[in-house]
Each structure stands twice: as C-alpha cells, then as structure tokens.
Amino acid sequence: MNRSTTTQLTIVRLHVHYPSRDTVYDLDTLARLAGVHPALVSQYVRRGLLDPLDDGDEREWRFDDASLNLLRKIQRLRSELGVNINGVGVILELLQQLEDLRQEVARLRDELS
C-alpha cells in the first residue's frame, strides 16, 4: 500500500506596525492599532488602567507609543490569559513595582562599582 499525501502550503502576509517614538495617536487611531473598539479604550481610561497624555474631553485625548504598548499588554492579559479587569490593574501595578526595583538595583550596583 503506497499512499500519496499532498501537503498544501499557505502563505500569509502580515503587516506589523512599529510606531515612531514621536507619534501621538487620537482615541480612534490608538484603538484601531490595538485592534479594539474605542469604547473599550475609554473604559480602560475611566478605570485608571490607561492614561491619555492630556486631561481633556474624550474627543481630545492623545496617546503615545507607551500607551499603545500598554493597551496591547492589557488586551493580552484580558483575551489570551483570561484576566479580569481588576486583576489587570493589580498585575500592571506589580509589573511597575518590579521595574522600579530593577532600576533601583541597577543604580545601587553602579554606586558600588
């Protein structure tokens, strides 16, 4: 018995957005780049998970690359890992504390050198 199998190869073309450091996004653009609805971004801002660059009306909010990266991190925690919104807040706070401690350790090492 000689079985012949056929393998089909599918090629997928992806467009990856690498934002510029100086780019500022409005609410709709930020949401589109992160693949979420603008209302969800607004909810994250109201809950304190994401901060616009300015304290204006929602239509005037502007966000930077750090906001885009944070929004993507929030979405990963929510959709891929199933973390609820309160858990996301705790995780983000702990990650910030961890980063602060890493920077403090690096500073202390430099002082000892």
pLDDT tens digits in sequence order for the chain, 113 residues long: 556 677 777 777 766 656 566 789 999 999 999 999 999 999 999 999 999 998 888 889 999 999 999 999 999 999 999 999 999 999 999 999 999 999 999 999 999 98
Q: Which domain holds residue 82?
A: 25-112
For residue 105, give the CATH number of its domain. Answer: 1.10.1660.10
Domain count, the chain: 1
Is there a domain that residue 1 lies in?
no
Q: What's the pTM?
A: 0.74
Is there a domain that residue 95 lies in?
yes
Residue with tokens 């991190």: 73
For residues 28-53, b (16+ Cβ closer than 10 Å) or e, as one string?
A: eebbebbebebeebbebbeeebbebe
Count CB neighbours of 88 within 10 A: 20
Is there a domain that residue 11 lies in?
no
Which two tokens mark 76?
Answer: 């990963």
